[in-house]
Structure 1
Amino acid sequence: MDAAETVETAGPVLDGIPRQPGATPGREPVAHVEPVAHAVESEVCGPPSEAYVVRSEACTVEPGVERGVEPGTRAGAASAQSRRALFPRPWRLLPTPVRTPFTFFYATLLALTSLVAEHVDPDLVRALHQGSSTDVAHLVHSPVPVLVASALWVAGGVGSVYVFAFVLVLTALERRIGGWRTAGVFLLGHVLATLVTEVPVGLAVLVGHLPDSSLHRLDYGISFGVAASAGALAGLLPPWLRWPLLLGFGGMLLDDLLAFADPMTNWGHLLSLAIGVAMRPVVREWHRPSGSAGEPRARQRGRHRPAQ
């Protein structure tokens, strides 16, 4: 407001107080109206804020702006983000080719390889799995191709719980940090957990604690990458979502470990989850609080710039 605006006085004008020229009875000129505006705001609408405008002794709020939050600022972006976390839109849980291209096309590829594994000759499928296995023998001779090939199959087929976790976790993570960084988190968990679980097997065979057949143990799938992605996603969620995710996912992994069906792989799952959790400082630095993960950062910065 500027000095030319006036406000209604609470009562009649006291006699003996001279009026300025041009003033009308019952209205007093206000040289500095900001304290009055703040007083009205504190009584009618709560704490004063630049997001409120006093009109006719009442407060009106700009659309989409929370009380006490200035639009276009970091606080405003965080407020909008918290509203999205509290009230997620169901369709945002699924990948799309535009907003989450990495998750969408990777999921499509996994669906194709799962169909192949389900409908072609079982002997051929076994040969494909064995050729893609990240066992010690393959890691020694062709580590990079086999690490990539092993992540093209889903152990247990499309009915595996890791397929469900893959879609939800990687979609949520990619919307927050982008496709390339989500791929990096997934690949880091996949590679590190594979190496940490397979190198001890090779050393045990070398010293005679395990038979030579252990060098060709079947090991493939996306579970290590999914576990690392779940741990990284937990670092970006509010506590009321973070702890249920970690406790639920971690409890499932511990239950598998206690079953002792495949302890080496089960330890790899827990290690992958720990790798993702340890990446919390990095993924929080990557996190984009405003806009989608697929939107360029430069465009986000240029969307709104508050007046200096």
Structure 2
Amino acid sequence: MPAARRRLRPWRLLPTPTGTPFTFGYACLLLGTSLFMEFGDPDTVAAALRGSSTDVAHLAEHPVRVLLASALWIAGGLTSPFVIAFVVVLTALERRIGGLRAAGVFLLGHVLATLATEIPVGLSVMAGHLPHSSLHRLDYGISFGVAASIGALAGLLPRWPRRLVLAAFAATLVQDLLTFEDPMTGWGHLLALAIGVTIWPLVRRRYRSSRTAPGSATAA
């Protein structure tokens, strides 16, 4: 009965400083940058976003810096649907596999999906298929990391909830891709989701070990 009650506690969907320190700290940081985007000086905000963009030009000059800096912002601000997904999914993932591994999943999806979408742009510019201005495309946000985290978390769910989560999220991504508003980002989201799915063996192994380890109860 106590275990069942723990599963039903709704506040466990939200991050806490002790139970999920990575998600809690990251969420606070994103809240700060989102408020800065909303209320800061427009010119300063625009300059900060340009400096954090993972476009080809910035990746060629400062790859590590922009890959990290781009994950400090939420494209669309606090009204983005990825805000809720970030809080709920990262909280659930961290409770199951720990903060360092949850951060690793997020970063893996963010970095690999970014590189996989930007490198072809650079090659296309070199081949003359895209204009030179494509090298300076504004690109930032947490959505690739969130998509990979959703994919990874799905692997820890029972069969039917797992299928439902993957089908619903993939359908949303495909619908966004078909609008052609930003096809490169759309493909990046699908790739990030696939990255999360491919690491199921790793997250499942960690989840099983955490459940069998002595004193493995997670703080609330």
Give the TM-score band, short-chain normalised. over 0.9
Question: In the alignment, is residue 180 of structure 1 matched against residue 100 of structure 2?
Answer: yes
SS at match of 1:175: helix
Please give the alpha-carbon distance, in whole angstroms, between the structure 2 residues aligned to 1:102 and 1:290.
Answer: 17
Who is 2:139 aligned against?
A: 219
Displacement after TM superposition at 1:88 (Å):
2.8
State the partner residue of 2:87: 167
Structure 1 residue 138 displacement after superposition: 0.7
Which residue of structure 1 aligns with residue 25 of structure 2?
105
The structure that is helix-richer by fraction is 2
Paired AA for residue 229 in structure 1: S
Contact 1:132 1:149 in 2 (8 A): yes
CA distance in 1, matches of 2:189, 2:202: 21
Q: Which amino acid aligns with 1:108?
A: C
Compared with structure 1, are the counterparts of its residues 242 and 127 closer, same or farther at alpha carbon in structure 2 (3 Å cutoff)?
A: same
Q: Distance in 1 between matches of 2:87 and 2:202?
A: 22
CA distance in 2, matches of 1:231, 1:290: 20
Is 2:96–2:210's contact at 8 Å kept on the other side of the alignment?
no
**TM-score, with length taken from structure 1:** 0.67
User: Separation in 1 of the partners of 2:209 and 2:111?
Assistant: 29
Match of 2:164 in 1: 244
Counterpart of 1:100, as a letter, is: T
In 2, Cα distance between equivalents of 1:208 and 1:270: 26
Indicate conservation of the 8 Å contact 2:105/2:145, yes or no.
Answer: yes
Which ranges of 4 or more aligned residues in structure 1 deviate by more than 3 Å? Answer: 288-292, 297-301
- Alignment equivalent of 1:149, drawn from 65, 69, 75: 69
Out of 44, 53, 56, the residue aligned to residue 133 of structure 1 is 53
> Using the alignment, how far apart are the partners of 2:173 and 2:125 within structure 1?
26
Does 2:145 correspond to 1:208?
no
Q: Once the two structures are aligned, what percentage of the paired residues are identical?
A: 66
State the SS of the aligned residue for 2:161. Answer: helix
Q: 1:246 to 1:92 in 2, by over 3 A?
A: same
Unpaired runs of at least 5, structure 2: none
| Separation (CA, whole Å) in 1 of partners of 2:26 and 2:17 | 10
Q: How many residues align structurally?
A: 217
Alignment CA distance shift 1:300-1:92 (3 Å):
closer
Distance 1:291 1:112 in 2: 34
- Deviation of 1:171 after TM superposition, in Å, equals 0.3
3-state SS of paired residue (1:98): coil
The question of 1:277 aligning with 2:197 is answered yes
Mapped to 2, the partners of 1:275 and 1:290 lie a distance apart of 22
Distance 1:219 1:260 in 2: 16
CA distance in 2, matches of 1:300, 1:99: 12
What SS is found at the alignment partner of 1:287? helix
Once the 2 structures are TM-superposed, how far is the Cα of residue 239 of structure 1 from its aligned partner? Answer: 1.6
- The answer to whether the 8 Å contact 1:228/1:272 transfers is yes
Distance across 2 between alignment mates of 1:154 and 1:104: 16
Report the Cα offset of residue 291 of structure 1. Answer: 5.7
Q: Indicate if the aligned counterparts of 1:173 and 1:229 stay in contact, CA closer than 8 A.
A: yes
Q: Deviations over 1:99-149 (max 9, x none)?
A: 100000000000000000000122221111110000101111110010000
Structural RMSD (CA): 2.0
Residue 199 of structure 2 aligns with an amino acid whose one-letter code is M
Distance in 1 (CA, whole Å) between partners of 2:33 and 2:80 is 14
2:57 maps to a residue whose letter is: A
Q: Which residue of 2 aligns with 1:123?
A: 43
Q: Which amino acid aligns with 1:155?
A: A
Point out where structure 1 has 5 or more consecutive residues left out of the alignment.
Answer: 1-63, 66-79, 302-308
- For the 8 Å contact 2:113–2:188, the answer to whether it is kept is yes
TM-score by length of 2: 0.93
The CA deviation at 1:288 is 4.2
Secondary structure at 1:220's aligned position in 2? coil
Contact 2:97 2:210 in 1 (8 A): no
Conserved 8 A contact 1:176-1:288: no
1:300 shift after superposition:
3.8
